[in-house]
């Protein structure tokens, strides 16, 4: 534990705090033993509320700081007076678990330990905390009245307080301690019930997760089987379509290829003529065309010769008719001869075909 000289050398006051101390008037407080005990206990109550506020806000005061301090301190909230240290600790613990935003029993224990440390540091540390509370209340409209009622008088009184009594108060706080059973909220039973509920919820979540997994497994298997079936059917359909296309192409090729093969065989196959020589299709086409041209020429020449013969015979018949008649008998014979000759020629012309050869005439 630090002595008063070490605490004075370690703790320093700012200029604002010094100015505020100068503004305080010098007073003397006449207190009996009972009142002095209540003053020390109320000081502990105020310091507990202040330590909670510093720990909850991490030393950065906000608009809720005045409300937290006066609400957590029974002395400042409704002018409570205590008879022993246990009442102070129980009151503060119950208020911490009911009023502020952050409610936890560990915060109560932390504020208790910090207050003990401040009391051990001595009057300078306590005065610095009281000056900070005075500043917080001074900037708030309803809380500034508490400075006139308590904080200003405490700042003046603590400067003349005895350090031995402050150290004894810290020892009393350490011996008293605070537990959850003493607060009267049945916190142990509530925590056990909360743990049981939490375990049941975890078990339900685990069972639900297992059931969901078991439900999802057949669904996944069905989905996988369906995907496999669809892939197999699609592959089978594609295979069938490919095979059908191949068969159709093969059939078409089979239809076309025999024709092409026969044509190619006919084109490429060697031909044998009457003399036993091979001839190609090109020579056959030329010979066929030559034979056709020769036959057409022969037919035209035969018809021309027949026409010439007919003209000659007609001329001879005309000459015979134009000759003078010597006697009737010869004329009759000549006429009979010419008419018979004309008839014979007509029958020959009609009986002879047009495409007959010249040797036949």
Cα–Cα distance, 105 to 48 (Å, whole number): 14
Provide the pLDDT for residue 177.
Answer: 86
Provide the pLDDT for residue 333.
Answer: 42
2: phi then psi, degrees, rounded to nearest 5 = -75, 145
Tokens for 51? Answer: 């330590």
Residue 105, pLDDT > 80, answer yes
Is the model more confident about 319 or about 269?
A: 319
The three-point CA angle 30-34-38 to 5° equals 90
Question: What value does the CA radius of gyration of the chain take, rounded to a whole number of Å?
Answer: 71
**Which candidate, 303, 290, 338, 332, places its Cα nearest to that of 318?**
338
316-325: which pairs have CB atoms within 8 A and are 24 or more residues apart?
Answer: 317/341, 317/342
Provide the pLDDT for residue 277.
Answer: 42
**How many residues belong to the chain?**
361
Provide the pLDDT for residue 261.
Answer: 57
Position 316 confidence tier, pLDDT thresholds 50, 70, 90: confident
Residue 293 contacts residue 285 (beta carbons within 8 Å): no
Cα–Cα distance, 178 to 112 (Å, whole number): 9
Provide the pLDDT for residue 235.
Answer: 58
Provide the pLDDT for residue 313.
Answer: 79
Cα–Cα distance, 102 to 100 (Å, whole number): 6
User: CA torsion sign, 275 to 281 to 282 to 287?
Assistant: positive
Residue 154 contacts residue 130 (beta carbons within 8 Å): yes
Q: Which residues pair with 276 in a beta bridge?
A: none
Provide the pLDDT for residue 358.
Answer: 36
Cα–Cα distance, 107 to 111 (Å, whole number): 6
Provide the pLDDT for residue 306.
Answer: 78
For 64-98, how does the pLDDT look when each residue is reduced to its tens digit (9 = 90+)?
Answer: 999 999 999 999 999 999 999 999 999 999 999 99
Cα–Cα distance, 166 to 176 (Å, whole number): 15
Provide the pLDDT for residue 330.
Answer: 39
Residue 103, pLDDT > 90, answer yes
**Minimum mean pLDDT range among 39-43, 69-73, 344-348:** 344-348
Cα–Cα distance, 351 to 342 (Å, whole number): 14
Cα–Cα distance, 75 to 41 (Å, whole number): 9
pTM of the model: 0.58
Say which residue the tokens 């490919």 belong to. Answer: 242
């Amino acid at each position: 534990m630090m002595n008063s000289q070490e605490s004075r050398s370690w703790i320093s006051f700012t200029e604002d705090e010094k100015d505020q101390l100068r503004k305080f008037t010098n007073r003397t407080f006449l207190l009996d033993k009972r009142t002095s005990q209540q003053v020390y206990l109320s000081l502990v109550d105020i310091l507990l509320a202040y330590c909670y506020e510093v720990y909850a806000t991490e030393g950065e005061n906000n608009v809720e700081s005045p409300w937290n301090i006066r609400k957590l301190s029974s002395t400042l909230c409704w002018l409570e007076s205590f008879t022993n240290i246990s009442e102070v600790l129980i009151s503060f613990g119950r208020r911490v678990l009911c009023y502020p935003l952050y409610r936890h029993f560990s915060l109560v224990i932390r504020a208790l330990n910090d207050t003990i440390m401040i009391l051990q540091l001595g009057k300078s540390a306590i005065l610095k905390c009281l000056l900070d509370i005075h500043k917080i209340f001074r900037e708030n409209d309803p809380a500034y009245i508490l400075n006139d009622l308590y904080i200003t008088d405490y700042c003046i009184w603590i400067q003349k307080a005895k350090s031995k009594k402050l150290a004894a108060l810290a020892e009393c706080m350490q011996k008293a301690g605070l537990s959850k059973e003493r607060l009267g909220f049945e916190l142990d039973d509530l925590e056990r019930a909360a743990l049981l509920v939490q375990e049941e919820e975890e078990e339900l979540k685990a069972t639900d997760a297992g059931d969901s997994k078991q439900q999802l497994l057949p669904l996944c298997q069905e989905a996988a089987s369906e995907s496999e079936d669809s892939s197999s059917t699609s592959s089978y359909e594609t295979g069938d379509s490919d095979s059908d296309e191949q068969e159709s192409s093969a059939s078409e090729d089979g239809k076309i290829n025999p024709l092409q093969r026969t044509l190619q065989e006919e084109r490429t196959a060697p031909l044998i003529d009457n003399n036993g020589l091979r001839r190609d299709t090109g020579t056959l086409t030329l010979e066929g065309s030559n034979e056709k041209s020769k036959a057409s020429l022969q037919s035209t020449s035969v018809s021309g010769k027949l026409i010439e013969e007919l003209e000659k015979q007609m001329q001879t018949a005309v000459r015979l008719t134009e000759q003078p008649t010597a006697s009737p008998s010869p004329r009759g014979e000549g006429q009979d001869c010419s008419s018979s000759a004309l008839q014979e020629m007509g029958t020959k012309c009609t009986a002879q075909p047009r495409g007959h050869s010249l040797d036949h005439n």
